[in-house]
Amino acid sequence: MSENQPEHELLPLPQLSFAQQPPPNRPQGPHQNQLLQGLTQHDLQLHSPTEPGSSTQNGHQLPIQSPKWMNHRRLILLVLLVSSLCAIVLVLVDYSQQNVQTQSKETTQTDNVTQCLSEACQRASAWLSTSVDPFAHPCDYFLITCGADRPSPTTRGKQKGKGLPLDLQRQQKRADMRTKKKENNLVGNLRGEKILDRKTALMQYLQKALESNTTSGSAVQKAKDFYHSCLDIKSIETAGVEPFLTLVRQLGGWGVSGQWNHSDFNSTLRVLIKQYASFPFFNLYVGRDPNEIVRGTDRKFIQIDEPDLLIPIVWNNKMQKSIARTQTLMPFLALCQRYLALLGAPSGSSIIHVGIFISLSSELAVATSPLSYRLLNGQLYQRITVQELESQAPAIDWLGCLRAVFHPHPVRPEDHVLLHNLPYIVQMSNVIQKWLTKHELRNRGPLRTFMFLNLLHTFTPALDSRFKETVRKFYLALGNTVPEVPRWKHCITEMEKGFDTVLAHILTDMATHRKAEEMLENIFSIFKTKFNHLDWGDYNSQQSLMKKVHSLTPRLWTQTDSQREAELDLLFSKVTISTRSYFSNYIQLLALQRQRRNRLFNQTQDDDIFSVRPFLSGNEVIFPMGMFVPPFFHTTYPRAMNYGILGIFIAKDIFHLLLQDNYALSEAVTAMVECVWARYLITTGKTDGGNATVLSAAQQREIWLQYSALQVAFQAYQQSLQKQPEDSSLLHFSRTHLFLTSFAQVNCDTEPYGDFMPLEPSFLITVLCSTSKLCPATLDCPSKTQLHSLEACLPLSS
């Protein structure tokens, strides 16, 4: 108040410019601003001391007496003005209260939450800090399309053909600078780190475990020693071919060198298939009979199949038989000649033995046939006794070979085995008999040459790089691509042959067990609940599918479910691993492979240790431990992140596994998909040219399935919070923010069904947020259709 102004006089109210000060996020229309400005100007006129056109008396202006209706008019205008001001004030107060409540809710979620500071969480935080926050720039983030033209993860956040907005570039630059400061405290360079496919993530997890210096039991230590000997390229190159030549001499030599003992054919074959897992004439493995599975039994049978012949062959539909194409024979000839040259074979004898190998391979190849042909002609799973097999293919000592390979499992003449191509087995026996007795080259040991060149192929992974390069050139000559596999990944893949139980033991962690089982229980529970509300249109199909779904139980699986470390050490007690000789270690690995094959007789299922997706076994849905590895899952991660990444993967896996393609979408689901797709086209502006894409049935199913999986994982996480309200966080994100941001960072390239998804899966976040009050921000695009208008497409409870 001014010093010269009486206290009883009030200062005039400052003029309020409504056009310049609208309520936040509540824009005023132009007609509203005009009305408010008009009222203000008229109010000023009402308070003017004089009015134009007033009369004067004696040269002085006289006040004009207003009629009564003018007084009423002024009063009405004043009432309108005051009412307008009051309404605006109420709107501002209401908005302010809502904003405070929203901020309070978000603050409650974040301020009282413990920030995760484990090493795994630090890596995850660094990864998230260098990624685009979808809630900061929804217009740029959610419009990427999955498909052949999809951008790489390092360009995520850009629209196709456009750069990042300037403010986003600055934000990312600042994030990169923050990350640079953190790199000294983190393991590895995390800038630009992307989500891997699940198989690679599992392999990297095993790599880290095998390269760690932690104290381990003897079995794990032997696995680590094998792994490191495989990585020791220098020792492998130094050894060269000598380890294999030594093995050949121990086996009695061969005709290529001119010195060999004329040992019995079947005795040599038994040694090769028993000790070195080399199957030159046929393949042996253990498995179920589909007819037994239908009857509900788990009995396992010895199965005999075609061999993996080295000679390239093709199937001739017209002739209904396999043939060797002329254009492939020259590369194959070069391969064989190079093999023998590397082994130091004399050039004169190598030509003869290469000819023998190609001739024998061709005779066996013509009797092979593709799986589809054998299935069509009922040649798979033909049951026959060992005694009957010996009568139909007498060149092989079947009883002796089977007993050698499957010892100590008993094999009797009356036992049944399953054949997968009886015509080939008969033809193979005839070819062997001919080369043993009648062929003019039998004195050169042609069958021995054939067996030892197959043995060489078995040991190629354990020999120096010249053999690997020879194989690579052979496949390139055939027009095949040869991907370059990192040495560490190659070594872990080889270990699976015999160290599978050790690798499974490495994956097993009781803390992981508990958290993984809790996640599976919550997700499967929500999945069944959602499944009850689905309408497939066909009542009988729906009831059958519901009965199947509700009969299933999820189970976490690992090969070491019943094996402790002491039991594992005992199993590997007779294994000796050298720190310098990878070739001798590889022989040990092949012996372990035979033991693994024999264990299958007593196992309920033959599973891949590198499996990263669930599978059905009886009335159980089995989830391998290989799914629960970083960066998709970690015991120290906030649950919001575990559910936001792996939880959604699990939900999608369940849908794909149980529904597959054997279902039709109901009208309600189809309408929802069409709604989402229409909104996506409007948001991306793809309908402007009138060339909107029409979705196929597979694409419609995938949109519905992926959104359903997002719903299931989100509701499962909410259910877990009801049981255990505490959860940590990263980067001070709220729970929902972390859940959805984690999901948004997962590249759709990592999933096998990504090709059927016509839009970026993270676009579905806009649908979820339109039906949930838990999202950290409204997903509005100022220059595009407001994304929250998707509310009519899909309620969260659907």
pLDDT digits (tens, 9 = 90+) for 28-53: 333 333 333 333 333 333 333 334 34
More confident residue, 96 or 570: 570
User: What distance in Å separates the CA atoms of residue 570 and residue 136, rounded to the nearest whole number?
Assistant: 56
Beta bridge pairs of residue 616: 621
Give pLDDT, residue 795.
Answer: 54
Query: Phi and psi dihedrals of 795, rounded to 5?
Result: -70, 150
pLDDT at 235 over 70: yes
- Cis peptide before 138, with omega less than 30 degrees from 0? no
Q: Which residues fall within 8 angstroms of residue 399, CB to CB, at 6 or more apart?
A: 386, 390, 411, 413
Longest CA–CA span in the chain (Å) reads: 151
- Specify the amino acid at residue 496: E
pLDDT band at 24 (very low <50, low <70, confident <90, very high): very low
Structure token pair of residue 142:
């959610």
Minimum mean pLDDT range among 42-51, 142-151, 679-688: 42-51
pLDDT band at 253 (very low <50, low <70, confident <90, very high): very high
- Cis peptide before 134, with omega less than 30 degrees from 0? no
pTM: 0.76
Q: Which residues fall within 8 angstroms of residue 481, CB to CB, at 6 or more apart?
A: 475
pLDDT at 4 over 50: no
pLDDT digits (tens, 9 = 90+) for 372-431: 999 999 999 999 999 999 999 999 999 999 999 999 999 999 999 999 999 999 999 999
Return the axis-axis angle of helices 347-365 and 326-342, rounded to nearest 10°. 140
User: What distance in Å separates the CA atoms of residue 527 and residue 654, rounded to the nearest whole number?
Assistant: 8
What topology does CATH give the domain 237-495? Answer: Neutral endopeptidase; domain 2 (1.10.1380)
Contact yes or no for 68/74 (Cβ under 8 A): no
SS3 state at 439: coil
pLDDT, average across residues 242-262? 90
Give pLDDT, residue 128.
Answer: 86
Structure token pair of residue 454:
């197959």
User: What distance in Å separates the CA atoms of residue 489 and residue 501, rounded to the nearest whole number?
Assistant: 18
Share of the chain above pLDDT 70, in %: 71
22: left (phi over 0), alpha (psi -120 to 50) or beta: beta
pLDDT, average across residues 486-490? 96
- Per-domain residue ranges of the chain: 120-197+638-792, 237-495
Q: What is the CA radius of gyration of the chain?
A: 38
pLDDT mean across residues, the chain? 78
pLDDT at 114 over 60: yes
Transcribe 164-217 into DSSP letters.
Answer: PPHHHHHHHHHHHHHHHHHGGGSSS--TT--PPPHHHHHHHHHHHHHT------
Q: How many residues does the chain have?
A: 798
Q: Closest Cα to residue 743, out of 626, 629, 673, 642? A: 642
Minimum mean pLDDT range among 345-359, 626-640, 766-780: 766-780
pLDDT, average across residues 548-562? 78
Strand spans (E) along 613-726? 615-617, 620-624
Contact yes or no for 314/325 (Cβ under 8 A): yes
Q: Residue 597, Cα to own-chain centre: how many angstroms?
A: 28
User: What distance in Å separates the CA atoms of residue 268 and residue 247, rounded to the nearest whole number?
Assistant: 13
Q: Residue 303, Cα to own-chain centre: how many angstroms?
A: 32
Among the ranges 14-18, 141-145, 172-176, 776-780, which has the highest mean pLDDT value?
A: 776-780
Question: Would the CA dihedral through 304, 308, 311, 315 be positive or negative?
Answer: positive
Structure token pair of residue 656:
């794909």
User: What distance in Å separates the CA atoms of residue 506 and residue 508, rounded to the nearest whole number?
Assistant: 5
User: What distance in Å separates the CA atoms of residue 333 and residue 492, rounded to the nearest whole number?
Assistant: 32
pLDDT band at 756 (very low <50, low <70, confident <90, very high): confident
DSSP label at 381? Answer: S
pLDDT digits (tens, 9 = 90+) for 432-445: 999 998 888 878 88
Q: Closest Cα to residue 360, out of 279, 422, 448, 283? A: 448
